[in-house]
A and B are shown apart, each in its own frame.
Chain A
Amino acid sequence: MPVWMRFTRASLALAAVAVAWAADLAYACPSCASPLEENRQAFVDTTVFLTVVPLAMMGGFVWWIRRKLREQDELPEIAVPPNLLRDAGRFSKRP
């Protein structure tokens, strides 16, 4: 490895350590340390709400797609009248 590259890496590592050292707690959230119980509860409730909503949406969407795919898989590639499909025995996709 060339000297300049080692120097750059060492400088970046040093800078990262310096930034981590300088960082302090930031009280950016107006509700986290609120003395009002109602406000703290609202913060917890909205945090739960904002966590659950996207997960529920994505979970619901995956479940819906899976259901649609299964429905499609159950149907044969070529549309066949149900009576013929029943007679197909073990070659039939339907029991």
Chain B
Amino acid sequence: MPDDALGRPYGVPTRREPVVPNGVMGMLIFVATEVMFFSGLISAFVIGKSNALGGWPPPGQPRLPIEETALNTAALLASGVALFFANRAFQKDSPHTKRLLGLAIGLGGVFVLFQGAEWVALIGEGLTITSGQLGGYFYLLVGTHALHVVAGFLILLYTYRKLSEHELDRFTFWPAQIFWYFVVGVWPILYWQVYL
């Protein structure tokens, strides 16, 4: 049966759907609080950085791997793009959805693994959370983001499982996407502020 722009069958009275699904609304409110949380952290970092005597980064501290992290940033951004196309494929009921969602999860996993390897190397060079202002801010900001990436990664894995079982609906997929876009979107700001 043909239907209109909202997917309603012609001629049949239907109940109006809420303008924003509950899951999406809940996730938007949560992400708004997260935006403020990260804004607070970034503001504290900017103030701390401008207050540092002897310039920034502080002398005698290990340098952060700018180029390698740029590649990792590209992987995370690509993950967001893959998720965007996974959603488009999902809306068209395309068989590519699973592959694209898998790609998004895989790239997210690459980011987490690289971050772990970077941390191990930096700790080996003496940069710890107590080694100074740089270490303190670095592990606080990047660590908080890493926790969010891991949470988003698990949420995407859950949606992948649901998709595999043919049980994924848009009310589950959309909130998961919002969270992942937030995680992807906040990272370039952190990279710019902390690494560059």
A→B interface (CB under 8 Å): 30-31, 34, 36, 38-39, 41-43, 45-46, 49-50, 53-54, 57, 61, 65, 68-69, 72, 75, 77-81
Given contacts A30-B51, A50-B39, A57-B35, 11 further A-B contacts (CB under 8 A): A30-B47, A38-B50, A49-B43, A50-B43, A54-B32, A69-B19, A72-B19, A75-B5, A77-B16, A80-B11, A81-B2
Taking the nearest CB of chain B, how far is it from the CB of A52, in angstroms?
A: 10
- Contact across chains for A68 and B20 when beta carbons are under 8 A apart: yes
Q: Within the assembled complex, what's the spacing in Å between the Cα atoms of A79 and B12?
A: 7
Residues of B with C-beta under 8 A to A41? 50
Chain B neighbourhood of A77, CB < 8 A: 13, 16
Q: Are A79 and B4 in contact (CB under 8 A)?
A: yes
Q: Is the CB of B47 within 8 A of A43?
A: yes
Smallest CB–CB gap between A5 and chain B, Å? Answer: 42
Do A78 and B51 contact each other (CB < 8 Å), given the known contacts A46-B46, A50-B40? no
> How distant is the Cα of A57 from the Cα of B32 in the complex, in angstroms?
7
Contact B50 A78 (CB under 8 A): no
The answer on a CB contact under 8 Å between B47 and A31 is yes
A61 near B28: Cβ-Cβ < 8 Å: yes
Q: Is the CB of B2 within 8 A of A45?
A: no
Which chain B positions have C-beta within 8 A of A75?
Answer: 4-6
Query: Max chain A CB contacts within 10 Å: which of B2, B4, B40?
Result: B4
Is residue B67 contacting chain A, with contact meaning CB distance below 8 A? no
A59–B35 Cα distance when bound, in Å, is: 15
Number of A-B residue pairs, CB cutoff 8 Å, is 70
> In the complex the two chains form, is B16's CB within 8 Å of A49's CB?
no
Specify which chain A residues have a CB less than 8 angstroms from the CB of B13 in the assembled complex.
77-78
Distance from A62 Cβ to chain B, minimum over Cβ atoms (Å): 12
Q: Inside 8 A of A31's CB, which chain B residues have their CB?
A: 47, 50-51
CA distance A34 to B20 in the complex (A): 46
The reply to whether B2 and A34 contact each other, CB–CB distance below 8 Å, is no
Tell whether, in the assembled complex, residue A79 and residue B43 are in contact, meaning their CB atoms are under 8 Å apart. no
A39 touches B10 (CB 8 A): no
Contact between A79 and B9, CB atoms less than 8 A apart: yes
Which of these, B10, B20, B32, B46, contacts A79 with CB under 8 Å? B10
Residue A42 contacts which of B12, B40, B47 (CB distance < 8 angstroms)? B47
| Residue interface mask B37-59, A partner, CB < 8 A = 1 | 00110110011011100000000
Residues of B near A68 (CB, < 8 A) are 19-20
- Give the contacting residue for A46; candidates B2, B8, B10, B47; CB below 8 A: B47
Residue from A50, A68, A78 with most neighbouring chain B CB atoms (10 Å)? A78
Contact A46 B19 (CB under 8 A): no
Instruction: Using known A-B contacts A68-B20, A75-B6, A81-B2, determine if residue A42 contacts B50 with beta carbons closer than 8 Å.
Output: yes
